[in-house]
Amino acid sequence: MVLFKKLDWYMLRLFLTTLLVVTVSVGVMIIIINMVERLRYFIDNEMPLLQIIEYYIYYGGWVIKSFFPVFVLLSALFSVSILTRKNEILAMKANGLSLYRITMPFLIMTLFLSIGHFYYSEYIYPPANQKRLEMKEFIIKNKSRRTYEKATNIYRQISPGYFYTMAMFNLPQREGKDLKIYRTRDNHLRKLITANSIKYTNGRWLASEGIVREFDDSLKKSYTSFDTLSIFDIKDKPEELTRRLGLPEDMGYEELKEYIALMKRTGAPYNREAIDLQIKFSFPLTSLIVVMFSIPFATTTKKGGLAISFATGALMALIYFVSFRILQSAGYNEKVPEYLAIWGVNAVFFVVGLIALFTARK
């Protein structure tokens, strides 16, 4: 049995063509709005035209990453509305095709688009997004790169009860000052390593001019001095000590996982980042869900139904996205359980979509 027949390909061609037109037209509008907002930066910094074009190529990728579910929703509504206006949906029903069968190619294609959206957002676009962020900070806003080459008051946890501090770290020199490494057990300090400096060389950390102090149960201490000492337990790379990571939504999936691991090592809270990591799976499914509950409204044949169905579908999509962000914020503040913040809106609107399909005129 052939999954897609000629009629299905006809509808998919209309849907994908509409998606391309909507993405380009709405995307260009978003870019123009942003360009107007940034115009004074371009003029003040005398930014060359080629750099402006390069920035907005990267920015266009961000628009697709961030607004793709909206583009899919509008494309589905436009496509089905066009078919309804031409009475093609009515003709399909007259030939024995149910609304479920008519909807099937849209849902299958949207599922593939959702998978592609996830892969694009988390594995293809992040390197380009990093360049966009760098251009935004260092060229458009004209910030100095030197502010990103040094870090002060560094704290990192190696494992429970085992952590280190560094007063300052210089990335170009790959050297830190005033290192202290603490190892505790049963809430008591058991070992303390202090060093005037530490340097990353040949893939390892090398501490210089320091003292190793060890404490027994009676708190008596012994100490030995050293000129150089290899510190194998510090796994952080120099770039991890100084880099200013973007917002979680600016990171790819693997990068955000590494960032959460870094937060765990520092002992800092990472609830927000953990939620954002799972939302990277739930957000792409938005495309599938909004199409599921918008198509029944777009296929109405009542008088004035096209405008009403489009407005109703768009309103429900707006409610969806607003609810998604509200629940996400509630999860950040630990007002609701983590799984509810991540999947709650998807679950509710999936049920709404099923009800809309089951109760629509077949």
Supply the pTM of this predicted model. 0.73
Instruction: With CA atoms as reference, report the closest residue to 55 among 123, 141, 121.
Output: 141
- At 210 the three-state DSSP class reads strand
Tokens of 113: 């688009």
For residue 260, how many C-alpha atoms fall within 13 Å in the half-sphere facing its CB?
17
**Other CB atoms within 10 Å distance of the CB of residue 102:** 21
Residue 80, H or E segment: helix 49-85
Instruction: Please state, in angstroms and rounded to a whole number, the distance separating the CA atoms of residues 362 and 354.
Output: 14
- Give pLDDT tens digits along the chain (362 positions): 445 678 888 889 999 999 999 899 989 999 999 999 888 888 888 888 899 999 999 999 999 998 898 889 888 888 888 887 788 877 887 887 877 788 888 889 999 999 999 999 998 988 888 888 888 887 887 777 666 778 888 878 788 788 888 989 988 889 999 999 988 887 778 889 999 999 999 888 999 999 998 887 766 678 889 999 999 888 888 877 776 546 777 788 887 887 787 677 656 678 888 899 999 999 888 888 888 877 777 666 455 555 665 666 667 777 888 888 899 889 988 888 888 988 998 888 888 878 877 776 65
Domain range list for the chain: 6-140+272-359, 150-244
